């Protein structure tokens, strides 16, 4: 996959119905063992970020994913669920057995904490260090302060000093998965003339979808 296709934008709303949008790195698309028609999108975030509070208050989100090479655009509406460290206070809000598609994963004993650590471990050392900074959005006196932040964090099992182990713990504690359960997928093909647009809508809580060709 081209690197430009691994980033999409996710929109949330805050408690005053003000929209907020930001770019996210795509991590994976997962499928329940016996339900391939129920894919979930996986990305990551910092559990301290305001968007986490927004998702916990209102799980409805929409993402837009434009593939530059093929000129395809996907707008995907759905429900976002945050999976922080199992020791984080907000973990109690994560109840996969009651969710649309994550319930299917829960039925098969999916290990959320194991997956969280696997995804964290797959990232680069400098990227893992991003979860060791002060709270996202907090005041910064000058950019000089950033020079004192950890520049890289080793993988699990590779820390050689007490400082590296401490940074691993901080990074992992702030690192969270975000699963998005799609309910509407709107696909626009801009690379063909005339443009084509197809929309899939989820039928209630089932895994069935309706397909409709619509005007671009």
Confidence at residue 2, expressed as pLDDT on a 0 to 100 scale: 42
Please check whether the domain covering 3-124+175-214 is classified as CATH 2.40.30.10. no
Question: What does pTM read for this prediction?
Answer: 0.94
Measure the N-to-C terminal CA separation of the chain; round to a whole number of Å: 26
Count CB-CB contacts under 10 A for residue 92.
8
Nearest one of 24, 19, 76 to 45, comparing CA atoms: 24
Every domain of the chain and the residues it spans: 3-124+175-214
Provide the mean pLDDT of the chain: 95
Distance CA 202, CA 180 (A): 14
Asked if the model's pLDDT at residue 1 lies above 90, the reply is: no
**Digit-coded pLDDT (tens) for 101-154:** 999 999 999 999 999 999 999 999 999 999 999 999 999 999 999 999 999 999
**Digit-coded pLDDT (tens) for 6-47:** 999 999 999 999 999 999 999 999 999 889 999 999 999 999
Nearest one of 186, 175, 181, 177 to 210, comparing CA atoms: 186
| Residues 74, 187 contacting (CB under 8 angstroms) | yes
């Amino acid at each position: 996959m081209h690197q430009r296709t691994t980033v999409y934008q996710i929109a949330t709303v805050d408690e005053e119905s003000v929209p907020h949008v930001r770019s996210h790195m795509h991590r994976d698309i997962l499928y329940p063992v016996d339900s391939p028609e129920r894919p979930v999108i996986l990305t990551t975030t910092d559990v301290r970020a305001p968007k986490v509070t927004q998702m916990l208050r209102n799980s409805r989100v929409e993402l837009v994913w434009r593939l530059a090479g093929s000129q395809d655009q996907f707008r995907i509406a759905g429900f976002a669920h945050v999976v922080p460290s199992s020791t984080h206070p907000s973990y109690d809000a994560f109840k996969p057995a009651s969710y649309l598609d994550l319930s299917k994963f829960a039925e098969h004993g999916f290990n959320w904490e194991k997956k969280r650590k696997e995804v964290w471990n797959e990232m680069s050392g400098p990227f893992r260090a991003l979860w060791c900074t002060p709270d996202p959005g907090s005041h910064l006196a000058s950019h000089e302060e950033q020079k004192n932040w950890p520049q890289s964090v080793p993988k699990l099992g590779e820390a050689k000093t007490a400082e590296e182990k401490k940074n691993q713990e901080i990074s992992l504690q702030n690192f969270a998965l975000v699963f998005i359960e799609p309910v509407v997928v709107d696909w626009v093909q801009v690379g063909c003339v005339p443009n084509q647009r197809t929309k899939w809508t989820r039928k209630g809580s089932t895994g069935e979808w309706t397909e409709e060709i619509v005007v671009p």
